[in-house]
């Protein structure tokens, strides 16, 4: 049995995420976790809420609540929404946990001991209007490299160049909009990433088969301009993990907290400790410590492309720099952006569909199918209501749903609600089984490779093969001349529904459960070769219930209404 450690980028606490956030990390990670579990592998799938930093403070202030209370409430909201989308986390933790406090302070102490942290007196942007030092991300201006007018103080999203606030042209506070800024002296800790450039580059070069998107971003940060730069890992904030060396105070760092991008990835490890604390599992070290058995673990991370630099450089620098035997990521599956109807999702303008709104419109499987089958892997993708309607209606309703409905209703009308006994399979059935075996192998190959779109195409091809067989074999016509032949066709088709329940479960778990439950089954094992056995699993006389329509069609009127409702113009 293989062991798979799977993490998705942890969503930030300040508000409900949109569909682009979902498909960029959590949803494909869930797809992969469900697939590996279905194949009988041991899986630990972890996620959490990212709760520190200025955005949390500002969001709490806007909500009129203490920041700790706000974060606790939003964690529960995000957990409920994740459950609504059937995200099968083994644990959904919190970066503000005691475990993450202790582990972050531990890593900081180890890095200090290995000479990879230096103390820097520097000047930082102070906003008179806001009465505070401004974190890099809360300063915007024009990028000196490409001229983009909304570059942040840490990075330009247009050209991805690393920046410092003083590099920006005409900087302003994104909190108040004030340009009344001045540089004030403060003292901070820096992680000496530059000392680890060669080791990080060598490590990245040993990662087998990483997506081009992942490696290209990592290499750009390693070699762009002056190369990999040291990064500040502390901030002048009230909310966060206090700066300590393990359990010891850090002289000169009183009142400061660790930078959110330093502590957030460490939460992946802390989350496994929380998993044990919650009584959901045991022995977290066998997943994370190579001296405790983690050598045989395959660790896969899922994230949007904006998170790649921190997971290919910053977090590995922390792990490697500690000098301790921690498990490093084996594969990073990164995604481009999902855009909305010709533009970007926007919380402030109400533009686009957010996760809670999506579940109010339609059940999770509709969204899971469209998002995964249109995952932004090789380039940015575009959500349009027209495409969503077409995909749902053609793939889910017309192909899969129609097959299940036609087979079960025809069987009920001619043979009753049980698998027919008479009739034997012939050349047509043998050809179908051989075709399905080849297609299943192709589907499994794409799932193992985490090629999400290609996997969805192979799954759809499995559904289509059943429809084409049913249309060609035409049991309704055969029944008039040869009822036994019709019985054989129906028996195989009912077994196909059971087969579809198994192979569709990573993509559309609710519909898969509904198909299984129609035959009184709680779960359906993943099919194994030869498929002739898997497609004969339901014995003659096995009873079933005709399920409700798996998927309804989306109407033109609904599409027009949703397009208007979420356009950001209301």
Q: Is 71 annotated as a binding residue?
A: no
Q: Is 146 annotated as a binding residue?
A: yes
Structure tokens at 389: 């309607």
CB-CB neighbours of 567 under 10 Å? 16
Contact 512, 502 (CB under 8 A): yes
Contact 42, 3 (CB under 8 A): yes
Residues facing residue 479 across a β-bridge: none
543 Cβ contact list (under 8 Å, min separation 6): 417, 418, 519, 520
Contact 233, 243 (CB under 8 A): no
User: 3-state SS of the chain: helix, strand, coil percent to 5?
Assistant: 50, 15, 35
Euclidean distance between CA atoms 508 and 526, whole angstroms:
15
Among candidates 155, 135, 136, which has minimal Cα distance to 146? 155
Q: Is 156 annotated as a binding residue?
A: yes
Contact 467, 497 (CB under 8 A): no
Give the CA distances from residue 257 to residues 61, 103, 232, 238, in Å, rounded to whole numbers and listed in that order: 19, 14, 11, 7
Alpha helices in 212-323 (DSSP H): 212-223, 260-277, 285-288, 308-309, 315-321
Q: How do 297-304 and 257-258 pair as beta strands? A: unpaired
- Strands, DSSP E only, in 130-254? 132-133, 139-142, 151-152, 169-173, 181-191, 231-232, 234-235, 244-245, 248-249
Contact 565, 357 (CB under 8 A): no
Q: What does the DSSP assignment read for 70-94? A: HHHHHHHHHHHHHHHTT---SEEEE
Residues facing residue 139 across a β-bridge: 173
Cis peptide leading into 530, omega within 30 of 0? yes
Euclidean distance between CA atoms 154 and 231, whole angstroms:
10
- Helix (H) / strand (E) element for 333: namely strand 331-335
Euclidean distance between CA atoms 29 and 454, whole angstroms:
16
- Helix (H) / strand (E) element for 408: namely helix 402-415
- Which region, left, alpha or beta, applies to residue 143 given φ > 0 means left and ψ of -120 to 50 means alpha? beta
Contact 117, 189 (CB under 8 A): yes
Q: Report helix, strand or coil for 157.
A: coil
Output the known binding site for ATP. Answer: 347
Output the known binding site. Answer: 143, 146, 156, 159, 347
Output the known binding site for Zn(2+). Answer: 143, 146, 156, 159
């Amino acid at each position: 049995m293989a062991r798979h450690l799977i993490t998705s980028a942890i969503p930030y606490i300040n508000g409900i995420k949109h569909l682009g956030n979902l498909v960029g990390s959590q949803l494909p990670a869930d797809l992969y976790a469900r697939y590996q579990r279905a194949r009988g592998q041991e899986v630990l799938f972890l996620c959490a809420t990212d709760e520190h930093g200025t955005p949390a403070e500002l969001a709490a202030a806007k909500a009129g609540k203490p920041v700790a209370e706000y974060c606790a409430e939003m964690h529960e909201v995000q957990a409920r929404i994740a459950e609504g989308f059937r995200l099968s986390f083994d644990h959904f933790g919190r970066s503000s946990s005691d475990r993450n406090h202790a582990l972050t302070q531990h890593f900081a102490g180890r890095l200090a001991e290995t000479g990879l942290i230096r103390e820097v007196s520097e000047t930082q942007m102070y906003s008179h209007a806001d009465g505070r030092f401004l974190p890099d991300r809360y300063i915007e201006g024009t990028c000196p490299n490409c001229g983009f007018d909304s570059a942040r103080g840490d990075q330009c999203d247009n050209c991805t160049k690393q920046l410092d606030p003083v590099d920006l042209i005409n900087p302003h506070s994104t909190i108040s909009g004030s340009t009344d800024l001045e540089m004030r002296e403060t003292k901070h800790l820096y992680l000496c990433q530059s000392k680890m450039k060669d080791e990080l580059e060598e490590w990245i070069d040993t990662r087998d088969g990483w997506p081009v998107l992942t490696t290209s971003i990592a290499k750009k940060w390693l070699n762009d301009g002056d190369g990999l730069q040291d990064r500040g890992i502390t901030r002048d904030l009230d909310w966060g993990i206090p700066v300590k060396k393990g359990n010891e105070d850090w002289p000169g760092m009183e009142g400061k907290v660790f930078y959110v991008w330093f502590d957030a990835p460490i939460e992946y490890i802390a989350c496994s400790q929380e998993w044990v604390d919650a009584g959901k599992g045991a022995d977290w070290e066998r997943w994370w410590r190579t001296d405790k058995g983690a050598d045989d673990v395959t660790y896969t991370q899922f994230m949007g492309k904006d998170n790649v630099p921190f997971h290919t450089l910053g977090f590995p620098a922390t792990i490697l720099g500690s000098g301790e035997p921690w498990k490093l990521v084996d594969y990073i599956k990164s995604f481009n952006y999902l855009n909305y109807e010709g533009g970007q999702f926007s919380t402030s303008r109400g533009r686009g569909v957010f996760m809670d709104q999506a579940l109010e419109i339609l059940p999770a499987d509709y969204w899971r199918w469209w998002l995964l089958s249109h995952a932004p892997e090789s380039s940015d993708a575009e959500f349009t209501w027209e495409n969503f309607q077409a995909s749902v209606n053609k793939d889910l309703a017309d192909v899969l749903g129609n097959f299940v409905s036609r087979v079960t209703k025809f069987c009920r009308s001619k043979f009753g609600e049980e698998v027919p006994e008479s009739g034997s399979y012939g050349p047509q059935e043998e050809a179908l089984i051989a075709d399905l075996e080849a297609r299943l192998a192709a589907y499994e190959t794409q799932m193992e490779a985490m090629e999400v779109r290609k996997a969805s195409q192979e799954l759809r091809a499995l559904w289509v093969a059943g429809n084409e067989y049913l249309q060609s074999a035409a049991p309704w016509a055969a029944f008039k001349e040869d009822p036994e032949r019709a019985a054989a066709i129906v028996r195989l088709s009912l077994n196909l529904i059971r087969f579809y329940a198994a192979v569709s479960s990573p993509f559309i778990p609710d519909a898969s459960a509904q198909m299984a439950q129609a035959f009184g089954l709680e779960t359906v094992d993943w099919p194994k070769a030869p498929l002739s056995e898997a497609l004969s699993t339901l014995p003659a006389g096995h009873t079933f219930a005709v399920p409700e329509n798996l998927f309804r069609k989306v109407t033109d009127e609904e599409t027009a209404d949703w397009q208007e409702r979420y356009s950001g113009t209301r």
